[in-house]
Amino acid sequence: MKPNAGMVTLALSKGRIFDETLPLLQAAGIKVLEDPEKSRKLILTTSRPEVRVIIVRATDVPTYVQYGGADLGVTGLDTLIEHGAAAGGGLYQPLDLQIARCRVSVAVRVDFDYASAVRQGSRLKVATKYVNIARDFFAAKGVHVDLIKLYGSMELAPLTGLADAIVDLVSTGNTLKANQLVEVERIMDISSRLVVNQAALKLKRDAIRPLIDSFAAAVGKLQPA
Ligand code: PRP
């Protein structure tokens, strides 16, 4: 028997996604009993004995759900798109949870003339964690780019001469401002999605379907359009 049989396992990442999923869980009558910021535990119990939360890295949420290590997960659209390019099926995406909203944008140093670089057809060096999103975006614009894959602190790339531009998440814009960078293109709006393992949805339908329904109701209530 699989170690999670009879259990519903929800994969979350620490930080904004965890914090903003809590009210949705609460609306579904589920209280997480441990705080991942205080405990080193990676499996958290909830007020419902048959529901548990696992804490994984944001980029690993789609992987856990796709391969059945978790039945459900909450993941940003950015992560989902980057994962999707490498993945097959198995992930059902029933719901935009409308949390952890931000955008993926292109940013450059304040003294870099992005518009004329694009106009002149210059080849741009672009550093990003979001290589698939960036590749598709610049290909559609007809801009030639050399993509440099980074795993964090993207803002440093234009400041150190590693790249001309970055493609990164922007929320308040404070990080860009603090590093003398400016947003020059908005690529897409991002929010977090509920993802569900398709096999689990069939096998554990009685447990999972009501959860999806209460998330859907909570999204409607908590975030009126
Ligand atoms: C994201 C992003 C920026 C920052 C933008 O990083 O990479 O650094 O948030 O937010 P702001 O516009 O409100 O300043 P995050 O904190 O998610 O961590 P990361 O570096 O691991 O991506």
Q: Using DSSP, state whether 62 is helix, strand or coil.
A: helix
171 lines ligand 1 (CB under 6 A): yes
pTM: 0.92
The residue nearest atom 22 of ligand 1, judged by CA position, is 152
Rounded distance, CA 220 to CA 223, Å? 6
Domain edges within the chain: 8-100+191-222, 102-189
Rounded to the nearest angstrom, the distance between the alpha carbon of 170 and the centre of ligand 1 is: 7
Look at residue 4 in the predicted model and tell me its pLDDT: 61
Rounded distance, CA 48 to CA 162, Å? 49
CATH architecture of 102-189: 3-Layer(aba) Sandwich (3.40)
Rounded to the nearest angstrom, the distance between the alpha carbon of 10 and the centre of ligand 1 is: 24
Q: How far is CA 108 from CA 47, 100, 117, 125, 126, in A?
A: 47, 24, 11, 11, 9
Look at residue 46 in the predicted model and tell me its pLDDT: 97
Look at residue 111 in the predicted model and tell me its pLDDT: 97
Whose tokens are 């975006």? That residue is 137
156 lines ligand 1 (CB under 6 A): no
Does the structure show a pLDDT above 70 at 196?
yes
Atom of ligand 1 nearest to the CA of 153: 20
116 lines ligand 1 (CB under 6 A): no
174 lines ligand 1 (CB under 6 A): yes
- The answer to whether the 8-100+191-222 and 102-189 domains have the same CATH topology is yes
pLDDT band per the 50, 70, 90 thresholds, residue 84: confident
Does the structure show a pLDDT above 60 at 26?
yes
Rounded to the nearest angstrom, the distance between the alpha carbon of 138 and the centre of ligand 1 is: 22
Look at residue 90 in the predicted model and tell me its pLDDT: 78
Look at residue 18 in the predicted model and tell me its pLDDT: 98
Identify which of 13, 171, 179 to mutate to test ligand 1's pocket (most ligand atoms within 8 A of the CB): 171
Q: How far is CA 151 from CA 66, 78, 130, 154, 156, in A?
A: 22, 14, 9, 8, 12
Look at residue 6 in the predicted model and tell me its pLDDT: 78
55 lines ligand 1 (CB under 6 A): no
Instruction: Tell me the pLDDT tens digit for each residue of 177-194.
Output: 999 999 999 999 999 999
212 lines ligand 1 (CB under 6 A): no
Q: State whether CATH 3.40.50.300 applies to domain 8-100+191-222.
A: no
Does the structure show a pLDDT above 60 at 85?
no
Question: DSSP of 180-207, one letter per residue?
Answer: TEEEEEEEEEE-EEEEEEHHHHHHTHHH
pLDDT band per the 50, 70, 90 thresholds, residue 210: very high
Give the residue-averaged pLDDT of 128-157. Answer: 97
Look at residue 220 in the predicted model and tell me its pLDDT: 81
Whose tokens are 């059945």? That residue is 68
Does the structure show a pLDDT above 60 at 36?
yes
Give the residue-averaged pLDDT of 37-53. Answer: 95
Cβ neighbours for 87, distance < 8 A, ≥ 6 positions apart: 62, 66
Give the residue-averaged pLDDT of 92-98. Answer: 94
